[in-house]
A and B are shown apart, each in its own frame.
Chain A
Amino acid sequence: MSLAAFLESLWSEGRVRVGPPSQRPEGTLDEEQAIRSVLEEGERVARRDFPGEAPLFSLTAARWAADSFREACAFLIHRDAGQEQLEQTLRRPCPDMTSPSICYSVDLTFRYLPDLVRMARAVSPNDPLGVEALRWCREWPLSSVGVSGVLETGAIDISAFAGHPGLMTVYVDRIIERKDTSRLRDPRVIEALRRTVGADPLLTSAWEKHLSAGTT
């Protein structure tokens, strides 16, 4: 399955087929164009539901995330790959420095990180893929809301997107939806949550403890 088909299937059906890791059929101009089209279309759909003005879309970062995520899915299925190969493949850094634009673009695919972590943990609690996925969770906190154990393995830093109102709204939306109170240790998140809850009595009663304490 090409990367373009992988993404289309992931976004529309939630089911993907993957070959062995690091066997990428892309390369021709047509294939690259297909990937670009799918990513841009996916971003256009995401932008429709984005709160306020979305950051600029980085095709480079989105492509890196899509490639990386597909590789991770391949390691999930093809268990005979060695740990060294897994680490070498999944530790390729994002080619761009983190920023609102990069966080937004990576999230197009990495928003499925919680599912990947859950499936890796189902294989084994200490699965090497799960370890690498958890590292991604720390590096991309916007995309990993709801994953347990992220903060137990290291700190997260939301500075890359904390200054963008729309991305902070997405972040708090996910915290509320997934009831991930572990993310409420940052005063910027508490403040954003306070703005979200507003005067809504139901929301206020549900989150009052965290708002008044300012911590979990």
Chain B
Amino acid sequence: MSARWAARVPLSQAAAAARLRLVPRIRVLAVDPWLWLRGETLDESLDLQLRSTPGVERFVLGDDDLLTPVDRRVPVGRLPEGTWQPLADWLTVELPPSRLAGQCDTRVPLRIVRSPDVREAGLLLTTWDAWHAYGISAPQVRLDAWMFAVADGGRTVVRGSPPPPIPGIAHVDMQGIAVPCGWHWAPPLDTATVRTLLGIDATSVALFDTEGTWERIGADQFVRASRSALRATEEAMRQER
């Protein structure tokens, strides 16, 4: 596992690449609508991080910068040309809370009220044990629809519609403003205004409970749902215990 590699994520999800910022010698190039990443070597750890990055497409980088999707044999294109720069330079670092539970009890001038509207769930707050048990055996086509984030203590958020069929609190996910199903915020502001009020960026999720308490989950805290990502997370959590 040492081949030159490339990957791309939608620019709209570029924050997801932030998890890679400490990996040395990754270079990036933004060519709308993609953020391209490239590297000269690929070890198991980096491979796993790439696999876990939401929205990522991975390529083997051949001669003349030909791009061959992983698990395919035929090149599908060529790496774009431009001024590649180190990922760490390209990313602008903010100071967000680093864990899911980092900003509990931040009160906002919004109330969470009962809602008669029927909306489909797009996010599930569940336990790590339930999600792990389901996810490592789940079909790939279902996993492809989900991302997940885990907090200390095992609280787990699975984002994607429909949510996995496991116990938990289903939330309606309206452009990253997630409220428990059957509830809505009042006054009925649009999501952009709610974001401004909460002071969160466009890629983060604001996870509400029925008390109106919310917490912010940064885009870089979500990983793409895959069996290997689930197993790696389980292994990391086991070591922390």
Residues of A that sit less than 8 Å from B by CB: 12-15, 45, 48-52, 112, 115, 119, 165-166, 169, 172-173, 176-177, 196, 198-201, 203
Query: Which of these, B2, B48, B137, contacts A12 with CB under 8 Å?
Result: B2
Contact partner, B73, options A45, A52, A112, A166, Cβ 8 Å: A112
Query: Is there contact, CB below 8 Å, between A51 and B142?
Result: no
B62 — which chain A residues lie within 8 A by C-beta?
13, 15
Q: Contact flags (1/0) for B139-161 with A, using CB distance below 8 Å?
A: 11110010000000000000000
Which one of A13, A52, A177, A198 lies within 8 Å of B142 (CB-CB)? A198
CA distance A169 to B62 in the complex (A): 32
Which single member of A45, A51, A172, A201 contacts B136 (CB below 8 Å)?
A: A51
Instruction: Write out the residue numbers on chain B whose beta carbons fall within 8 Å of the beta carbon of A45.
Output: 44
Q: Which residues of A contact B44 (CB under 8 A)?
A: 45
Nearest-neighbor residue (CB-CB) of A168 within chain B: B139
CA distance A115 to B60 in the complex (A): 16
Task: List, sorted by A's number, 21 A–B pairs whose CB atoms are closer than 8 Å.
Answer: A12-B1, A12-B42, A13-B3, A13-B62, A14-B68, A48-B227, A50-B227, A51-B138, A51-B139, A51-B140, A115-B73, A119-B73, A169-B137, A169-B139, A172-B139, A196-B139, A198-B142, A198-B165, A199-B165, A201-B162, A203-B141
Cβ-defined contact, B139 with A165, below 8 A: no
Q: Would you list the 3 A-B pairs with minimal beta carbon distance, nearest first?
A: A52-B137, A48-B228, A196-B139
Contacting pair B228 A173 (CB below 8 A): no
What is the predominant secondary structure among interface residues of chain B facing chain A? Answer: loop
B72: nearest residue on chain A (CB-CB)? A14
Asked whether B126 is an interface residue with its Cβ less than 8 Å from the other chain, the reply is no
Q: Is the CB of B162 within 8 A of A199?
A: yes
Q: How far is the CB of B139 from chain A (nearest CB, A)?
A: 4
Asked, given contacts A51-B136, A165-B137, whether A14 binds B165 with beta carbons under 8 Å apart, the answer is no
User: What string of 1s and 0s marks CB contacts (under 8 Å) between B198-232 and chain A?
Assistant: 00000000000000000000000000001110011
